[in-house]
Amino acid sequence: MVRIDVITREIVQNALASAADEMSMALYRTAYSTIVRDCLDYSTSLCNARGEMIAQGVTIPLHLGSVPFAMSALFEKFEDDMDPGDVFILNDPFDGGMHIPDIFIVRPIFWEGARVAFAVSTAHHLDLGGRLPGSSACDNTEIFQEGIRIPWLKLHRKGEPDESIYSLIRTNVRVPHMTIGDLRAQLAACHIGERAVHTLIERYGLETFVAGADDLIDYTERLVRAEIEAWPDGTHAFTDYLDSDGVGGPRVKVHVEVTVSGDQLTADFTGTDPQVRGAINSTLSFTAAVVALCVRSVMKEEIPNTEGMFRPLEIIAPEGTLVNVSMPGASSMRGVTGFRMTDTVFGALAGLLPDRVLAAGEGGNTLVIIGGQREDSSPYVFYELMSGTWGARPDRDGNDGLCNPANVASNIPVEQAECEYPVRVEQYALLQDSGGAGKFRGGMGIVREWQLLEGEAHLAIRSDRRDHLPYGLYGGKSASGSINVLHHSEEQEVLPTMISTPMKADEVIYHRQAGGGGWGDPMERDPQAVASDVKNGRVSMGKAIEAYGVIMCEDFEIDMDRTAELRREMSGG
């Protein structure tokens, strides 16, 4: 047995992390669709011969927890039926996947006839069929409406593609050249991963690679356990809500109780509402990813992206609830539930680690899908994964216009959207006064407006945080809420946060995301910071007085005496 010293471990860790990032860049550069290429909704990973994750690219963190579940399901079906050149495919949420749009591609890696690792790529596809363009709609009520379900299958056998599977996919999707193009980008990423593993083995030997990968998982576990053990033992509960069940129904409760005991953390979602009619239900793998993401976000220690992260964590998520969907529940829009679970777990952790947790952000990426046919009858699906803002942190303001901490995504460049699709972006801006007030201010909400230029289309929106605003922490105030407005030719219509509806040429859809919550008492905010916000258009003069008790003259100079007096009055002094 090869013993792994500290230096070798660092070499192996960095080599594997670099390989996963190289896979990520290969997928990014060869992808076809906006949702992958521009919104960055994909991830890449490497696993050892037992299917345990040993590296993940710097991609979507909420995919982190999906890989162990997916690989476990793959081994149940194909453990003794894997050959060099094989490639496996999956998207079925009830066979180890996350939701219909996310396709897993897995390539076993062999060395001298023996299986030594796996390369994994996961990508959200532009369209996989179903009742509506984009295969994602909050008002889907069962999985059979959401697109083609792919259980674990062999996409390639000993290097030869199974053309029947490719044909089946092509036949069931609206934009086959993009779907197949993104699949091939995933295959390219896995090829890059295989090459990187071979290079590592050639340089250091098979025994060092195997032992180093196993040691890396154990090392991650030790780091996580040591970190948790340094936290105070205790239990804290938190409850948050989604505005709707996806089909116009009532609010949906997400509840978690986080317990730290020694070097173990338990997240118990008992008390969360039962699964809902709409398509916002989450798989257990996605829920596990949320807990891991939140725990990692409050850790001081840098840790490798391996399966060892999950060993000190216990996730209790009763089956048949919003956080552990049962067949045939719909889940294509489960992303919004992931963001709300993130806010809920952070809220619970804030009671245990008040100096490390940020206030609630905008509620997660807004999803806007416009699908139809161009004038030449060619189909299109415009997919916008709108990135927003952060809540304030214990030591600084929230970020403006940056993707929610639970994700790594990007807004589509305006020029890209307008060149490739029959849409015009009429507005793209930060909204004044939208961040929650606090000692540290929440980030500003984003406004975006799209006009349909031709024909008729179907519009689907997944948004939230209109009725249940992003919370502040430790005296910080809630942020402003979201809104959707569809401008018709002669009137405007306020739409629900989650909606599927027709859209006609020249109509404009306006979306305002929520801002980020504040952190700390607004009366403790430095008046100069308030003045700077006013000068830069982040906060209005009226809001400076109303929320912060700061009075300024026309030249933005602070009237210190009147400000001090007003603050005393507002503080009850």
484 and 505, same domain (yes or no): yes
C-alpha–C-alpha distance, residues 240 and 252, integer Å:
9
What is the rounded average pLDDT of the residues 453-470? 96
**Domain for residue 208, yes or no?**
yes
Q: Is the pLDDT of residue 125 over 70?
A: yes
3-state secondary structure of 259: strand
Residues 418 and 565 placed together within one structural domain of the fold? no
The region that residue 96 occupies, defined by phi over 0 for left and psi between -120 and 50 for alpha, beta otherwise, is left
363: left (phi over 0), alpha (psi -120 to 50) or beta: left
190, 222, 254 - which closes a domain: 222
- Distance between CA atoms of residues 403 and 386, nearest Å: 8
The pLDDT tens digits for 304-324 are: 989 999 999 999 999 999 999
The predicted structure's pLDDT at residue 511 = 97
Burial of 542 (0-12, 13-18, 19+ CB in 10 A): exposed
Provide the pLDDT for residue 411.
85
pLDDT higher than 80, residue 2: no
520 lies in the same domain as 534: no
For residue range 279-309, list pLDDT tens digits in order: 999 999 999 999 999 999 999 988 998 999 9
**Rounded distance between C-alpha atoms, residue 91 and residue 106, angstroms:** 12
DSSP 3-state assignment of 181?
A: helix
Q: What is the pLDDT of residue 1?
A: 62
| C-alpha to C-alpha distance for 132 and 547, rounded to whole angstroms | 44
535 and 507 part of one domain: no
Q: Is residue 322 part of a domain?
A: no
Q: Are residues 153 and 179 in the same domain?
A: yes
pLDDT above 90 (res 408)? no
Backbone angles phi, psi at 195, to 5 degrees: -60, -40
pTM confidence score = 0.94
Could you list the residue range(s) of the whole structural domain that residue 12 is in? Answer: 6-222
pLDDT of amino acid 323: 98
Q: Which residue has the higher pLDDT, 424 or 388?
A: 424
Render pLDDT for 393-402 as a digit per residue (tens, 0 to 9).
999 999 998 8
For 490-508, write each residue's pLDDT tens digit. Answer: 899 999 999 999 999 999 9
Is the pLDDT assigned to residue 573 strictly greater than 80? no
Say whether pLDDT at 344 is over 90: yes
Q: Say if residue 393 is in the same domain as residue 440.
A: yes
The mean pLDDT value for 250-265 works out to 98
Q: How far apart, in whole angstroms, are the C-alpha atoms of residue 102 and residue 123?
A: 5
Instruction: Tell me the mean pLDDT in the region 511-533.
Output: 97
Q: For residue 65, what pLDDT band results from cuts at 50, 70 and 90? A: confident
* pLDDT of 554 strictly over 90: no
Question: Do 566 and 453 belong together in one domain?
Answer: no
- Does residue 283 belong to any structural domain of this protein? no
> Looking at the domain assignment, is residue 84 inside a domain?
yes
**Alpha helical stretches, state H, 230-334:** 284-297
Q: Check whether 78 has a pLDDT greater than 70.
A: yes
pLDDT given at position 45: 95
- Helix or strand (DSSP H, E) at 196: helix 176-204
Q: Does 193 reside within a domain?
A: yes
Residue 412 structure tokens: 């589509």
- Could you report how far apart the first and last alpha carbons of the chain are, in Å? 70
pLDDT at 9: 87
Contact 260, 234 (CB under 8 A): yes
Domain count, the chain: 3
Average pLDDT of the residues in 123-151: 94
Query: Are 383 and 429 part of one and the same domain?
Result: yes
Whether 402 is covered by a domain: the verdict is: yes
Proportion of the chain above pLDDT 90, given as a percent: 89
- The confidence score (pLDDT) of residue 565 equals 93
Verify that 500 and 541 share a domain, yes or no.
no
CA dihedral 262, 264, 270, 272 (to 10 degrees): 110
Nearest partner of 517 among 336, 339, 363, 335, judged by Cα: 363
Whether residue 557 sits in one domain with residue 439: no
Shared-domain flag, residues 475 and 534:
no
Tens-digit pLDDT profile for residues 188-228: 999 999 999 999 999 999 999 999 999 999 999 999 999 99
Give a yes or no: residue 48 inside a domain: yes
Q: Which residue has the tokens 């031709």?
A: 454
Q: Is residue 401 part of a domain?
A: yes
* Range 451-461 average pLDDT: 96
**What's the burial of 351, exposed, middle or buried (CB within 10 Å: 0-12/13-18/19+)?**
middle
Q: Which of 222, 243, 268 is the last residue of a domain?
A: 222
Same domain for 517 and 533, yes or no, is: no
Q: Which two tokens stand for residue 294?
A: 């939140």
Residue at a domain's end among 189, 204, 222: 222
